[in-house]
Homo-oligomer: A and B are copies of this chain.
Amino acid sequence: MSSINLKRLSEELGLSISSVSKALRDSYEISAETKKRVLAMAEKLNYQPNPFASSLRRKKSITIAVVIPEIANNFFALAIDGIQLVAQQKGYHVLTYLTHESFKNEESTIKHLQGGRVDGVLISLCRDTENIKHLSSLHETGIPLVFFDRIPENMECPTVTTDDYESGFNATEHLIKAGCKKIACLSLSSFLSITHKRMEGYVDALKKHKLKVDPKLMIECTNNNATNLELIKKLLTRKDRPDGIFATVEKLAISTYYVCNDIKLKIPQQLKIISFSNLRTASLLAPSLSTITQPAFEIGKESASLLFRMIEKKTFGNRIDRIVLKSSLIERNSSK
């Protein structure tokens, strides 16, 4: 508990606390010579300013919060990577919160953040989030807030997303062109914006090609992996089973692979698959997985950049940015 502070420094230097503080912040009020002395002493004593005193006084935390459903997820891991990159450049600290897809967690996390612990918040909603009161409440405190990927649909707010509708459409059309007649769509939760957009694209592609839109082929999965495996197995073992699967999230494609291994269903001969995914090993799978790959790292970068723009010049904060990045469809063997 060495705790060397401005007082100690000032005594050591024979200066006042305020002069030392100013010198360290490179104020014009302090002579060059004094600054040099102060800096040298600070270095020598390994002075580190107390961040709480500083934040309290300046009403700035130099910290942002990132609230995401899970971290053991390629998409979010990459997004965080992008966020951290920008934050580090700006000299900001990053607090990470995992909701684990639980609305309760999301709500209490957001509530805590209203205390002023952070200067801005980046968030991707959890699968259960229907009610957004907690978010409008946070918004009203005036703290900058940017949503990415999973956004609220009935709220005026800055967002960073991908072209989910088009991707859903293209993915489905890709399966149709590969010969699929009966395409199932696996999704996470009907509350999620990404589910809506991607499924809209799916439905419209089916319509365009005069294929039946069958609610029985639109499977809403759960947050439990075992349950999902069962749901998918049931889907793939019924007599009118689909010949194509469009998975709106990576983990459901992986589950499908496991089920196919289990019930000896051949991909792509008997079932073609395409999925949203950021798997680095997509091309090494048996068979290699066709993907819609989101620019996750860029999403993180863009979100953070947007957030910092809002933090830095609140004056121009009236306009609401909605950034949309493009995903890319990568054909591989699972849909051949």
Contacts and interface: CB of A to CB of B under 8 A. Distances in A.
Interface of A: 1-3, 46, 48-53, 55-56, 61, 63, 70-74, 77-78, 80-81, 84, 88, 93-98, 105, 111-112, 114-117, 137, 140-142, 254, 257-258, 261, 279-281, 284-288
Contacts of A51: 115-117
Nearest to A287: B286
A264 to B, nearest CB: 15
B72 A1 contact: no
Contacts of A111: 48
A141 B1 contact: yes
Contact of A71 (B48, B71, B258): B71
Nearest to A260: B284
Contact of A285 (B81, B97, B98, B284): B284
Contacts of A142: 1-2
A279 B254 CA distance: 12
A50 B56 contact: yes
Contact of A72 (B55, B77, B112, B254): B77
Contacts of A97: 84, 94
B115 A48 contact: yes
Contacts of A96: 80, 84, 94-96
A56 B58 CA distance: 14
Contacts of A56: 50, 52-53, 56
Nearest to A257: B284
Contacts of A140: 2
A117 to B, nearest CB: 5
A224 B196 CA distance: 39
A48 B112 contact: yes
Given A51-B115, A95-B95, 11 more contacts: A2-B140, A46-B137, A48-B111, A49-B115, A70-B81, A72-B77, A77-B77, A81-B98, A258-B284, A279-B281, A285-B286
Contact of A95 (B2, B93, B98, B258): B93
Query: DSSP class of A's interface residues: helix, strand, loop or mixed?
Result: mixed
A112 B55 CA distance: 15
Contacts of A50: 56, 115-116
22 contacts: A46-B114, A48-B112, A48-B114, A51-B116, A52-B52, A52-B116, A56-B56, A63-B95, A71-B71, A71-B77, A71-B81, A71-B84, A73-B77, A77-B77, A80-B96, A93-B95, A94-B96, A94-B97, A96-B96, A254-B281, A281-B285, A286-B288
Nearest to A282: B281
A200 B78 CA distance: 33
A129 to B, nearest CB: 18
A328 B173 CA distance: 43
Closest 7 CB pairs of A and B: A286-B286, A48-B115, A52-B56, A52-B55, A72-B77, A52-B52, A48-B114
Contacts of A258: 284
A77 B80 CA distance: 11
A245 B93 CA distance: 40
A137 B48 CA distance: 12
A4 to B, nearest CB: 10
